[in-house]
């Protein structure tokens, strides 16, 4: 069923002056022949004119894009800078309900300040260029908005210490974020996070070698106790002897001995399951 025809002849909508009803066929919404201020004629649906969705033949947006490119030169077919992408991306997260991340931003009430909302130039003037390709935009207060006083260029590692659900781990009497512990101990963040999510405590997660944890079974107290004993045994100082029983070196732990010498089987030798490893005799101190 077509809409009730509303005569728009001689009415002005933005840059468009309605000349007459178009002869172009339509199913529901009538079209009107419009003369744009730029001199171009175009058939446009009446509903788009009345709603304000269309106020030029398309020349307005072309001029706006051209002016934008001339001002900062960071959004053209040949070159779109990472700073411009960052600005466009956080606006999308805050206002586009179809965006996958909207629920974490706009859905939580996070918005963009008026100074940045419609002006990349203001955003770039306040934030400047990224220090490196590894930096991205970060909100200092994760519950705050995108605005000059609450934003910075930060690395992934810096941002990992500033997320809403950041994990604080207590280990050896000190409490730090998981990313800080991994950085300090030289551990893989993903590996340690997976272990903690499976129920292993920090002592086991930080000290057990890759491949030694069973993630298929249920983590019970007895299994944790057994792993803790294994971790403690790996910290026992070990002595390295030649086959002639001459002391070569003392190591603070089995892990240190294996790391420095790259010899496999030291643990079996210390436990009495093998006589030698790497043509050396290994005993606990």
**Residue 278: inside a domain:** yes
Per-residue buried b or exposed e for 108-124, using 16+ beta carbons within 10 Å of the residue's own CB? eebbbbeebeeebebbb
Q: Is residue 3 part of a domain?
A: no
Task: Tell me whether residue 273 is in a domain.
Answer: yes
- Residue 146, pLDDT > 90, answer yes
Contact 56, 14 (CB under 8 A): yes
Q: SS3 helix, strand, coil % of the chain, rounded to 5? A: 40, 20, 40
Examine the fold and report which residue of 134, 155, 176 is the final residue of a domain before the chain moves on: 155
Residue 67 forms part of a structural domain: no
pLDDT for residue 90 is more than 60 = yes
Segment 64-78 shows an average pLDDT of: 57
Q: How confident is the model at residue 3 (pLDDT cuts 50, 70, 90)?
A: low
Do 220 and 255 share a domain, yes or no? no
* Domain membership flag for residue 64: no
**Total tally of structural domains belonging to the chain:** 4
The confidence score (pLDDT) of residue 217 equals 46
Fill in the DSSP letter of residue 189. H
Examine the fold and report which residue of 155, 189, 213 is the final residue of a domain before the chain moves on. 155
Q: Whole domain around residue 26: which residue ranges?
A: 12-57
Of the three residues 126, 155, 184, the one that is the final residue of a domain is 155
Checking if the pLDDT of 183 tops 50, the result is yes
Q: Do 255 and 277 belong to one domain? A: yes
Cβ atoms 94, 111 nearer than 8 A: yes
> Is residue 258 located within the same domain as residue 274?
yes
Average the pLDDT over 132-150 and give the result.
Answer: 88
Is the per-residue pLDDT at 147 higher than 90? yes
The answer as to whether 43 is a domain residue is yes
- Whether 105 maps to a domain, the answer reads yes
User: What global pTM score does this model have?
Assistant: 0.38
Q: Which helix (H) or strand (E) holds 176?
A: strand 174-177
What's the token pair of residue 146? 């995108």
Distance CA 9, CA 17 (A): 8
Same domain, 82 and 151: yes
Q: Is residue 4 part of a domain?
A: no
């Amino acid at each position: 069923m077509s809409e009730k025809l509303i005569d728009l002849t001689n009415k002005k909508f933005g840059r468009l002056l309605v000349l007459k009803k178009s002869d172009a066929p339509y199913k529901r919404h009538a079209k009107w022949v419009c003369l744009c201020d730029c001199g171009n004629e175009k058939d446009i649906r009446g509903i788009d004119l009345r709603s304000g969705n269309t106020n030029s033949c398309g020349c307005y947006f072309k001029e706006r894009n051209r002016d934008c490119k001339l001002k900062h030169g960071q959004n053209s077919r040949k070159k779109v800078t990472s700073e411009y992408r960052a600005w466009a991306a956080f606006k999308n997260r805050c206002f586009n309900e179809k965006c996958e991340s909207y629920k974490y931003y706009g859905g939580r009430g996070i918005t963009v300040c008026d100074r940045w909302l419609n002006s990349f130039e203001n955003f770039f003037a306040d934030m400047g260029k990224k220090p490196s390709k590894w930096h991205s935009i970060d909100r200092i207060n994760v519950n705050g908005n995108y605005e000059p006083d609450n934003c910075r260029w930060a690395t992934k590692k810096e941002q990992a210490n500033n997320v809403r659900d950041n994990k604080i781990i207590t280990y050896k009497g000190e409490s730090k974020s998981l990313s800080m512990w991994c950085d300090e101990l030289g551990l893989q963040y993903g590996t340690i996070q997976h272990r903690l999510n499976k129920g292993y405590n920090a002592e086991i997660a930080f000290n057990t070698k890759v491949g030694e944890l069973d993630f298929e079974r249920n983590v019970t107290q007895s299994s944790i106790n057994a792993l803790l004993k294994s971790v403690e045994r790996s910290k026992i100082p070990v002595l390295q002897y030649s086959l002639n029983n001459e002391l070569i070196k003392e190591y603070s732990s089995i892990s240190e001995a294996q790391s420095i010498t790259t010899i496999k089987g030291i643990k079996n030798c210390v436990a009495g399951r093998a006589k030698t490893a790497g043509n050396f005799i290994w005993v606990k101190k």
